[in-house]
């Protein structure tokens, strides 16, 4: 099958290679990548035989919206655009409506697998019309992991459902990573434990907490046993925030995912204004000792 792929970064580039290995023809475009097969979106459209399928793999928000707008002007009736980036599900209805004005079809597809997907396959969560899903199924089958289709692919519902499913997936991912991280920190803090990486690795088989994320933590500790090469600053792509917002909107309690998101915010603070306020309150009501800011700050000196 022939596919146009817009965006050849870490994910898009690897996806293109996996598709080509499976025998598909991929025409790739990226203004910032040497691997680009064409020099513009217009050239990409010209290189594809109608009816066309174009997969968009660019950063969420305005870059995706702008790409979809341009494709709407370039594509013909019956062509199909698939947004495989991390767009917010509410953007999908807007993109679908914009393309519908040009009689161009639209699907959204949440993609999980990171940099490992090229080798082991990608988990795919799609939203759109059943006919469009069936039309693109050869591409989905090439991208997903080997094995039963329903263990690596789902048609989650209408337009927007794929990105919604991926949003919840990423929220769960936040919670799982935070739990592993807190367990690691407690092991590292206790003098009784002499081999922290060994304990983590021993959980890899037979235990109820084994998972691919745990395997990746084992790998990271083997490469850098004390994680000394890293800073404890953790960014977020936005999907954890959206998950918590949806939890509030739908009155679904999510204490674990919410705490994991806020822990990421805390990782970005050199000093916490909130904890300064807590220290001030403890001093006010209880006369508790506080650490004063200044030249001796961080030395453990108490005044």
Nearest to 12, CA basis, from 33, 43, 40:
33
Concerning whether 46 is annotated as a catalytic residue, the answer is no
Contact between 204 and 214 (Cβ < 8 Å): yes
Contact between 17 and 5 (Cβ < 8 Å): no
Partnered with residue 29 across adjacent β-strands are 6
Q: Given 166, 185, 222, 231, which residue is catalytic? A: 166
Concerning whether 173 is annotated as a catalytic residue, the answer is yes
CA distances to 14, 275, 279, 295 from 299, rounded to whole Å, are 48, 17, 17, 9
3-state SS class at 144: coil
Q: Given 173, 194, 201, 222, which residue is catalytic? A: 173
Nearest to 142, CA basis, from 165, 122, 166, 161:
122
Contact between 257 and 178 (Cβ < 8 Å): no
**Active-site amino acid positions:** 166, 173
């Amino acid at each position: 099958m022939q596919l146009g792929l817009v965006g050849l970064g870490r994910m898009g580039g690897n996806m293109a290679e996996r598709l080509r290995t499976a025998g598909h023809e991929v025409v790739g475009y990226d203004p910032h990548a040497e691997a680009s097969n064409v020099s513009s979106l217009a050239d990409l459209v010209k290189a594809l035989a109608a009816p066309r399928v174009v997969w968009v793999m660019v950063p969420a928000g305005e870059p995706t919206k702008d790409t979809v707008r341009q494709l709407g002007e370039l594509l013909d009736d019956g062509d199909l655009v698939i947004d495989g980036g991390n767009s917010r599900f509410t953007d999908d209805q807007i993109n679908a409506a914009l393309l519908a004005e040009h009689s161009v079809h639209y699907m959204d597809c949440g993609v999980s697998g990171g940099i490992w997907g090229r080798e082991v396959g990608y988990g795919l969560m799609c939203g759109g019309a059943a006919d469009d899903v069936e039309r693109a199924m050869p591409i989905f089958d090439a991208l997903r992991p080997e094995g039963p289709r329903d263990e690596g692919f789902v048609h989650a519902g209408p337009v927007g459902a794929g990105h919604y499913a991926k949003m919840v997936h990423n929220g769960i991912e936040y919670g799982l990573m935070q739990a592993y991280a807190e367990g690691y920190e407690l092991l590292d803090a206790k003098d009784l434990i002499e081999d922290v990486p060994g304990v983590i690795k021993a959980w890899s088989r037979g235990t109820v907490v084994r998972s691919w994320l745990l395997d990746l933590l084992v790998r990271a500790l083997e490469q850098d046993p004390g994680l000394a090469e890293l800073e404890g600053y953790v960014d977020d792509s936005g999907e954890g925030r959206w998950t918590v917002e949806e939890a509030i909107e739908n009155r679904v309690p999510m204490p674990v995912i919410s705490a994991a998101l806020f822990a990421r915010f805390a990782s970005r603070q050199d000093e916490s204004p909130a904890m300064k306020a807590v220290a001030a309150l403890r001093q006010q009501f209880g006369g508790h000792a506080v650490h004063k800011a200044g030249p001796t700050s961080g030395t453990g000196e108490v005044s």
